[in-house]
Amino acid sequence: MKKALSIFILTIVVFSILSCNQETKDKLAKEDKKAQESIKKWIENRADEYPYYTPLEFGELTPRYRFNSRTHSIATAIEKENNAEQPDIKKLDSLKNMLKTNKEDFLGYTITHRFTTKGIDGQITTHEKLFFIDGEYRVITVLNVDAWDLIMDKELFFKPESPDSVQ
């Protein structure tokens, strides 16, 4: 009887863990999709700047936070755990949730995007851009992909120039 009860409880725990992981994956997939659609729309609205736009690849949607002692120590712990030989997924999720608890530290997301355009001469050009996305999945700023390391005040790039600049 005890063995059957133990197996039943273990089954419920495993099922709960798996369903939570699936919910997290589904949420991340929806966030990725929203960001990607926003980027595509933003580029398509600038057809004169990006003629004959063809998407190739999107990078990872990365949440960005204000730099302070709290966020820095959590980000360091996340990086350390990610670089471990066998990262502890529960610990990583817990650390990421700690970042999310303080909403005023959240700035938005960054994501890279590779795409091609075709000039009037028929020349196809490949571009790779770094997109800054706000919490509502609107494009705020676009830079060359290698510019991230050169930015001193990263918060500045999450502020739209004007309300219509995110359309």
pLDDT of 18 reads 45
In the beta sheet, which residues pair with residue 144? 129
Give the strand pairing for 124-133 and 54-58: unpaired
DSSP one-letter string for 82-111: HTSSS--HHHHHHHHHHHHH-GGGEEEEEE
- Does the pLDDT at position 152 exceed 80? no
- Does the pLDDT at position 158 exceed 70? no
- Is the pTM for the entire model greater than 0.85? no
Question: In the chain, what are the domain boundaries?
Answer: 2-66+102-166
In sequence order, what are the residues at sequence separation of 6 or more whose Cβ sits closer than 8 angstroms to the Cβ of residue 111?
A: 35, 36, 39, 58, 59, 60, 61, 62, 130, 131, 133
Chain length of the chain: 167
Helix (H, G, I), strand (E, B) or coil at 79: helix
- Of 11-20, 124-133, 156-165, least confident by mean pLDDT is 11-20
pLDDT of 165 reads 53
Report which of residues 166 and 26 the model is more confident about.
26
Cα gap 33→55, rounded to integer Å: 13
Report which of residues 122 and 67 the model is more confident about.
122
pLDDT tens digits for range 3-54:
544 454 544 544 445 444 445 556 667 888 999 999 999 999 999 999 999 9
pLDDT tens digits for range 82-114:
888 988 888 888 888 887 787 788 888 999 999
pLDDT of 55 reads 96
Per-residue confidence at 135, pLDDT binned at 50, 70, 90? confident
